[in-house]
Every structure is written in structure tokens, then in C-alpha cells.
Structure 1
């Protein structure tokens, strides 16, 4: 019987194909589970109510769907909405489609390292929000991953009693001496001296120039406000007031200038008037407004830069963070969320995070919380390597030309993959992190593996050349991958355990070396987030670039405080607290002594009603009626602009103001 030529499916079949993909995983024809998935597809088609309406017999539809002679790319191009559904669901569940085997069960680990709690760890939501910035290339990677499976081992999981080799750890050779870099190390530095390394004259000049241009543009558009060009000294006072508001927190900015109230704050009015502060806030701009207009014309094309409004300060801040401080050997990579609900394409939604809507920053941090480098996530990049988002993030932040070699990179299970760790090893970096089941290249053998009945403290491991996969039974199973640690070096940890007679006692259980080191060094980004949230200048705003500007300011203050502690240790001095540091910095930026009592500026002064030059007529011309005694008077209040008597026997001026 002559075989019929392959037929490309039409729109009716594609609708059935999408329906099956939402409920079953369709592997390639050479997959070992092809027959079972085919039966699952039969069941889905059998129960599909639209099959008869689409005009396909059950077996005919299955044969066409599983026919690998037609190009799947044609299907992707015919229905663009179906392209994004699987990709977005994958990212919402914390899956990187290019390195996760979606067909395999995914075990989620907590981002902050091995946990000893009995609760089920939440899924790490990495949804993409409303923006459609991922291209179809990610769907292609998803289909490829579905055809892959974790590495199968003919061997078995070893125990801690089995001998392990000592890994070949790269020699630690940093490009510079780790720590604070000159010239900050010469002599004692005040908070303003350190902060000025980030917000120096160049940054202040950029802010002043672009703010003035933006104010002129807004006035030309017909907006009503009083404006005078802002200069560097005034911009420093403005930043100082922002830091002051971070410490002295009030619900609204206008509350700092409220009068005749129990909650009156006397300091801000001595630095800047309310209207002037609000005028600068409304017109503050980082980039050139003219260049913004040119960039907006390119919206929808590859030349459009969605970060153009923050790009000048972004480049400067990244360079300052890397040049002023050089990290020590153990550094970590993780993400950070900047809260905002602005209508931008790269806003993300992460369901399991405390801050669910915002802008994602991928951060490289030292163990002390210093932000070394960061990258704003804007969606699918045209410079993607095709090896997955997690791979691209780590390789873009870990730069051998800047760091040197021998550094150990710690990351959580979203970033950990055998592909990434082997790449870092070739560059001369070590790596350690939790990993998830089902990721490409992860051992899948079940022989001698841990199970629910394994006693607490049980260790299993498999070594593949430079990679060491370790499983440890704590409250639940913990999975680690490392290139720089041995399986077990004698570390122990105390855990509560119930004895046979019902008593609880603390017992010593063994702990793998990788788990102990991960818990010690992974928290750099979390420490940084905690410090950034202390006395933050973040205020609710409709302008997304103002949100990022406030975050830049928080990074500069936090990094400055960390450098202050490092310098205090060098000079054997006691360092200030975080709040004391920010208070002194705000006082130095505004140009007032920290221990001085603020005196409110008083414009209520008695002045003559008439401004004529003839002194003989000044007392008689232009007299007003006093608002208190109703008599005629040549005096008025400069601020209130009302007539008030000022006589030896009748001081209505004083009575009115008291």
C-alpha cells in the first residue's frame, strides 16, 4: 500500500494541538515515553468536546499531531498568542525553559538555602507581567528541553563513607586587593566624602542640566508652576532632604511643611520651601528630554531603548560600584524586586514574593551586602546566548576581566545548572548552589537514593568530573551542586530529635561541606535588600524612572555605609549605626550642623505700607486700616500683607501673631 505524503495541519488541527499541549507533555518521537504520551493524547482527544466540530477522526488527528515531518516553526508563526502561554507559565513557576526538563517533575527549593522547616517551600514566581517582551526563541528552547531528560547514571548514589577526591580549586588571584580602594583608604573620611564617590560632581551636573531642560519643556506645554534653574548646591540640598525624609518618615511629602499642627516639623522649611521642593521633584530628570523624544519615535523597533530615561545614571552607578570596592572571594547572585505598578513593558509579576509587582534587578553582591554590579531585566534580549536566562544573567554579572580568577559564585536553584557550572569552571571560577530535580544534566538514577524513610543526616553523592551532586536529608531533602567542595569534611549541626521515650533532645547530625558553605556565603543579596529597606528614600510615584532613581540613591547610601564600616575597621574606630550614618549624611548635604536646633525662617516683619521715597509723605500716604483695632496705620506685616498698628501704647502687630 502506497504511503500517503505528509500533510501540514490546518487551523482546526492546531487548535486541538494547543488543547493537548495545555494538559499533556508532547515529547519528540525518539523520546522513551513516546508511546505512553501518545496514549495520553488519545485520552485528551477522546474527551475533547470540539473534536467532532473540527471534523477529525480521533486516530487521524493523533497521527497528524505526532507526525514529525512538518515544521513546528510554521505553527509558532501562525498563532503568536500560543507561543507565549507555555513560556509565561514556565517563568511564573520559576522554570528556565532552556535548561529545565519540563516533562520531569520539578522540585522547588527555597532561595535562601537549605531549610529546616516542615512547611512546603513556595514556588518562586517569576512571571512576566503584562509585557510581551519575550520572543519566540524561548518557545523553541522549551520544545528542545521537552525532548531532553536528566543524565542517567549506570552507577549508584554514594554515601559519606565512600572516598571522594579533592577538587582542583582555582587559585584565588583577584585583579585588585579586595576591600575599599584608594583614595578612600587615605585618612579618615566623613559620610559625605564616601557618598560623593557615587553622587559626585558629574552625577549632580547631569541631574541639574536635564532637570532644567525638562522644566523648560513642561512650561512650554502649558503647565503652571514657578521655576528658576536648579544648581549643584541646591540639588545637594534636595538629595539631603530626601535622605532626611527616609529617616523622619511621614505619610506625604507635603506633611514636612505643615504648620499650626501637633505634627509640625521645623527643619525642612529652613532648607527649602515646599513649592520649590515639589517643583524640583516634578521636573527631576535623568536623561536629556530631547533625546527621550527621539528614542520614543523608535518604539516598536529593535533600536528602541526602554531604559533610555535611566541609562546615563545606570552606567555611572555600575562603574562607581565596581571601581570603589573590590569584592572578597565568596560572592552571590540573586534577584531583587523594586516595587512599582507603573505601566511599563518590563514590569514583572512574582506571585510568591512579598513585593509582587515591580522591576527585577539581577544583583551580584559581596557577603557583607555590598552591591557590586546589577542588571535590570527587560525581557528577552537580542544578545541572548540561547543557553537560558539563568545562564546569561550569571555570565553577564561575573566578569573575569574585572574580578580576576578563583572567585566562588553562590546562587539558588533558578541559576544552578551543570552547563553554567562547567562554563564558570573553564573561566577559573568556582560555583556552588542548590539545584532542582528535572534540570538538564542532573543525575536521575534512583539506586541507593534518599527516600522519606532515610534517617536525618543521611548523605548521598555523585561526582561527574568537576561537578559534585550532593543530597542531604534534613527536615526535608536538600540537593546541592558544587565544583569546589568535597562531600563531607566532618561538619556537624545540632538538631532537635524525639527519643523513644518521647523526650526531645538535641543531637549532632553530619552536614555536607557544600551546605555549610552555602548557608554562610549565599546571603549577600538578602543582606543588601535588608539594608536597602532601612530608612529607604522610596516614595510612591507614577514615574517609573523616579522609582529607579530612588533605588540608585538607596544603593549609594547603603554601599557608602558598608565602606564606612570597612574603613572604621582599618582605622580601629567604632563605626556608626545605619541611622546615625544617614542622619549625619543628610545634615552634611543640607549644610547644617547635626546637633543644631533648627530655627524656622520668619518673614513676619513690620514694614511701611508706602514705598515712596519722600520721607515726609510716607507716614500719611497709603495708610491702611488695622485688622485688629480698625484704626488707620502706616504699618503692615510683610508676610501677611495686612495693616497692623505698631505704637508704644498699641502693639497690634504682636497681638496678631501671638
Structure 2
């Protein structure tokens, strides 16, 4: 390979001499450039990215006295590029992709799955773009950075030589004065071989609330069934009757059989306890105690059975003893233990089912959620993550499960759900945020014309366009750096924009809105106009420090999002404080929460159809616990303690006088005309009373 050395001469005209040596042949090339001419050419090269143009000028000025081979031309291109700025090669892109890939088969979660736990989808997120300028007036869209996907790759020889480190003389690193300011990320993302497009008629402009906008015609609402409860509206179902729609007798019987098999297996392995087979009525009592503990929280399980303290409770002890509750909790199992062993042998194969231990109960409850109720027009996608720790010292973020749920925005009823374990991906393979929604949106089950509201994790233009093709509208907040989101900075919001400022861009049926509240809010919608004249109350701080109420404009998508996205918060978890050593038991408690929340949503729908007042959520759970446990719900009164205690008159010193010492006539017997002596008296009343098996005057006296 040829070696290139640079020498700086002391010529007054600042000549730069490049000397190339190869096979003992020296070739001197003298390039004379005036300083002003050099700056003009360098500015032109920065604006157009034409690196090869600069090399062509050098060849013309050298009068063609030499022939440059491809390798030497590559080095000159590299040196010219070093004077202009950094650029991204294909090798660097591949290295970045390799660093963001799977961390290894021995890790619990891949890098993508850890991003999912943080609410980031690597398929949809391209990283935060360069900091947007804060224009006081509209700026050119040419200053916006270009994505890596549009960066042209250099020739193969260039990509190879760019990996070498070469020392360059400081005189060759002189940069021309720049006429405008660019951020570091914009310098890195812009390709020198592909100049940015100048601002023109095709550039996108962020419009304001004064610009008219027309929303697209929404798809016609055609549900597959009549929305609401799919039962006879005249039926009067009790809370336990609604709950058993999800935990049916068949599901509970299967749960009892597998729990008994798990207990027999544990005893065979050496567990020292006596097991009595659990029955469906007893298992319903167990679930009732679990819900009781969810409402009345105490630090430990033992506290619910502890007596004679200030925080003692009576109800759990009247349903079942503590040891029986703990034994059922230890052996609770939803699948056949023998079939679990067969499934575990299929690990690392396509036939392995990560949710096999949940499958019997999971499928039955999911089917019941679909058949018992049909959602109204506005639905929402939510997620709930609950942690489990399979081994001591494991991180909770790496041992968590996500449950994606499709809920009715009207009352929070969960129509369908999917459990994401963190080890496997959804079948489509287009990113978790996209696949989790597509799996739950089934036109054959729902129908068409629904409006879907989702959070920032699921929102993406690609998903909304796909839903529009299925005749579904969508609205949701979107994150910065999302793919296919307008990157224009022309007339955009800045940090100094006043509260209530609104900007929007429409691309066909997709609307992108940015609204400045206490912070910037970004919403994408396919069913709303940008602004419909609505305002919201806010408080503005005056110069004297006081606050006054003002009305600021609010976009229509933001108002609708806040109204219909709250359905996912209506089913708050009840049993999340239960700590278990088995992850599938944690999911079991989540399924109990789901059944209770759906039962209450159906109760409100039935009461509305019958024009009666529904119970509150707390009253509904109290009735449900009492019916599951087979009690009236009233706790038996505790024994009243007082100062009336029997004490002896005196303690005899002589054992021979023990039978007769200190005896006095019983007050109760004396009133009855009987003469009896007793060594006992009431400490409070200070009267002698008989206290023997066949004559308990002490009790009769105090009950008079």
C-alpha cells in the first residue's frame, strides 16, 4: 500500500505540497489556492455536498501531470470530507445496528424487549431528532436533518479505508467560516453525497387554529352485535352470578382438580402437611377471602387471623382457618402438572407454550369476556404491567409481564386481552406496538366503524393507516422521533410559544397536532378536525404574582382523547399487593381482578337498562365477598371484656387448710335461701360467688 505524507512549506503564498511515494517513485503535486477562493469553494462544497467536484478542481489546477489511481482518489475524497465534516458510512450504520441487536441467548430479555418495558418500540422509533430550532419566524425546511435511511453509501474502497486512523496536519484541518448554525446531530445525519432538498412549494407548513380543516368522512359504525350486555336485560343477577360468568363452575372444577394433583405431587416430594382435597365451594371461599384482603389491606397474611390486638379482624377466621388458606395458596395450579413436564421439554422449539400453565383458565375467561358483552363505538387499548420475582435477586423490570387489553371507553369493560411474557414476540413481527393492537382488533368479532384510542406506545402512522384500511378510526398521542411523523420546522412550536398555541399538518386522512399546554402535547388522529372552537380553562400568572383564569383553545383530538382514554383506568388492580413465588399465580390474581371489574361494569349496564340505581364499587365487592364465602356479610360480635373477673379470697399458707381457708357465703345462693360457701369472689363487685361445674353462680349473677 502506498503511504501518504504531508509537508508544509514556507512559501509566502501558503502553498500546500502533497507528496505520494510508491515503488520508489516520488511525485510532487503543488496546489495553489488563494485563501478567499478556497473559502468560497469550501462553502459551496458544504451546501451541495459535492466532494468529487473539489477533487476535479484540484486535478484541473495540476494541469494533469499525474494519474491518480482509485485508491489514491479515495484518500483524497476522505481528506476532503474531513475538511467538510463527518459523515456516516454503511459500516458505521451496520455497527450501530449490531450494537442494538440481541444481547445474547443467555440474557433474560433482549434489548428490544427491554425497550418494550420502557415504552419504546425499536421498529417505530428512529431516535430523537436534532433539537428543533426556536424560530421567531418561519424557517426553511432545508435545515431539518435527514434520516439515516437516505444516506448514500460510499464506494467499497472508501468504506474500507475509512476504518484507518491517519494523522493530518493542523493546516489541513482549517475550516471555512460557516454562515449558519447547525446542531451536531444534523452534521452527523446529513449525507455529503446527497444535498438536502431546498424549501419550495412541496415543503410542509405547520398551520394554526385560524386555518380551516375538514375531517375525513369516518367509516360507518356497523357492530357485529348490539353493543351492551349480551344477556336478558330483565334478569336480576347478583354479584356472584355475574362473577360466575367468568369463573364458571366448569373452570373452577378444573382448577380444583389440578390443585389437588399439585398437592399430591408436593406431598410425594416430601412436603409435611395433611392435605384434604379442595372442592369448588371451598375454592370460591378462598377467592372471597382473597378479595376481602384486597379491600382491607394488612401487612402480612397472619395478621388476618391474629387475635387479641388492636388491629384484629374476625371475618377471615369465620370462613376458613389460616393453615387451610395457606395450603390452598401454595398448591393453586391451573394446568395439569404432568402436562407441564411434557411442555417444559419442548423449550427452545416452536411447539413450546410459555403460557401453558395459564392456558386452561386463560382461554375460558377470554372467551367469557367476548361472549358476555359487546363494546360500544369508542374503545381504547391499554396495558398493565405486573412484576414477579422468580428467583432471589432478580430485577423486577426483567421479570415482568404485560397484559394488553381492549376496553370499552364507556365503562371500562375488557372485551379482549393478550399476555406478553417478554420472551416471545407476537406472530406478525412488525414491532410490539403494532402487533399488540392488530392482535386485539378483530373486525369479525367487533364489526367496523369503531374509534380506537391508544397511548403513545401504540400510536404510529403505519398502524393508523392499517386501521383505516380495516374501516377503523384511531386517535392517540405520539412520541418524538417516531417514523413517518412530519419533521418540518416551518412555523412549528417552540419552547417560548404561549400556552394554548396550536399547530397542525394533515396528510390525507391523518392529522398531526401539536398543542402547547404546560408542556407540548402531540396527538395523531384520523377521525377529528384540527380545531372545532373548543376552549379549556387555565390559570395564568400575572406580574404581581396572582393568577387569573383564562380560556385557551384546545384541539379536538386532545379533548376526545382525554374523554375516551380513561376507560383503561376504570379497572384498577385489587390484588396487586399479593406476593407469590410463582409467576402464574400472580397472573391468576390479575384474572380475578379482571373478572370483578367486568362483573361490576355489567352490573351498571343492567341497572341502567332496568332504570335502577347501581351499587358503588365498594358495596358491590362487599356483596360479592359475602356471597362467595356463603355468609351474611356480618361479622359476629366479639366477646365483651370487662373488669368482672373471678379471684380467690386469699392464698392459704398451710396446705392442710386449703379446702376451707377464706371461704364465704355465696351471695346468689343466699338470695335463693341456700347456704353455700365459696372461695371465689368477683373482683369488680367484691361479692362471694360459686364457681364450680354444676353451680356457676358467677355467670348467673352477672346476667341478672
> Do they fold alike, i.e. is TM over 0.5?
yes
Equivalent of 2:283 in 211, 235, 247? 235
SS at match of 1:374: strand
Relative distance call for 1:88 and 1:308 in structure 2 (3 A) is closer
Matches within 5 A, 1:171-570: 171-183=220-232, 185-343=233-391, 349=397, 358-367=400-409, 368-379=411-422, 381=424, 383-499=426-542, 503-529=546-572, 532-533=573-574, 536=575, 538-570=577-609
Q: Which runs of 5+ in 1 are unaligned?
A: 3-31, 36-58, 108-145, 351-356, 601-627, 630-644
1:100 aligns with 2:125: yes
Q: Which residue does 1:578 correspond to in 2?
A: 617
Deviation of 1:286 (Å): 0.7
Partners of 2:246 and 2:595 within 8 A in 1: yes
How many angstroms does 1:595 deviate by?
Answer: 4.0
Q: Distance in 1 between matches of 2:351 and 2:692?
A: 70
Q: State whether residues 178 and 327 of structure 1, in contact with CA within 8 Å, keep that contact through their aligned partners in structure 2.
A: yes
Closer, same or farther in 2 for the Cα pair 1:273/1:467, shift >3 Å?
same
How far did residue 246 of structure 1 move?
Answer: 2.3
| Residue 64 of structure 1, CA deviation | 14
Q: Is the 8 A contact 1:106 1:437 kept in 2?
A: no
Q: 1:406 offset after TM fit, Å?
A: 0.9
Q: Whole-Å Cα distance in 1 between the matches of residues 583 and 473 of structure 2?
A: 37
Name the TM-score, length of structure 2 as normaliser.
0.65
- Count of matched residue positions in the alignment of Structure 1 and Structure 2: 510
The 1:583–1:218 alpha-carbon spacing in structure 2 relative to 1, beyond 3 Å, is same
Alpha-carbon distance in structure 2 between the residues aligned to 1:158 and 1:409:
25
Distance across 1 between alignment mates of 2:88 and 2:692: 98
Q: Flag the 1:65–1:419 CA change in 2: closer, same or farther, 3 A.
A: closer
Decide whether the 8 Å contact of 2:514 with 2:521 is kept in 1: yes
Deviation at 1:285, TM superposition (A): 0.7
Question: 1:97-135: per-residue Cα shift (whole Å, max 9, x none)?
Answer: 11111262599xxxxxxxxxxxxxxxxxxxxxxxxxxxx
The answer to whether the 8 Å contact 1:346/1:377 transfers is no
Structure 1 residue 396: Cα displacement: 0.9
Q: Is the 8 A contact 1:267 1:599 kept in 2?
A: no
**Greater shift in the superposed pair: 423-432 or 571-580:** 571-580
After superposition, residues 135-174 of structure 1 pair within 5 angstroms as: 154-174=203-223
Distance 1:326 1:273, change over 3 A: same
SS at match of 2:571: helix
Say if 1:650 and 1:449 are closer, same or farther in 2 by CA, change over 3 A. Answer: closer
The alpha carbon displacement at 1:649 in A equals: 5.9
Superposed CA RMSD in Å reads 4.0
Structure-2 separation of matches of 1:81 and 1:98 = 19
After superposition, the Cα gap between the structure-2 partners of 1:476 and 1:553, relative to the gap in structure 1 and judged at 3 Å, is same
CA distance in structure 1 between the aligned counterparts of 2:114 and 2:351, rounded to whole angstroms:
29
> Would you say the 8 A contact 1:480–1:514 is kept in 2?
yes
Confirm or deny: 8 A CA contact 1:106 1:436 kept in the other structure.
Answer: no
Q: 1:430: Cα distance to partner?
A: 0.4
SS in 2 for 1:496: strand
Tell me, in whole angstroms, the C-alpha distance in 2 between the residues paired with 1:505 and 1:460. 25
Q: Deviations over 1:305-351 (max 9, x none)?
A: 2211111111111111122121111111122122322349998629x
- Larger Rg belongs to: 2
Query: Does the 8 A contact of 2:247 with 2:595 survive in 1?
Result: yes
For residues 431 and 475 of structure 2, the distance between their equivalents in structure 1, rounded to whole angstroms, comes to 18
Inter-partner Cα distance in structure 1 for 2:216 and 2:98: 47
In 2, the alpha carbon distance for the partners of 1:377 and 1:215 equals 29
Tell me the distance in 1 between the aligned counterparts of 2:50 and 2:452. Answer: 39
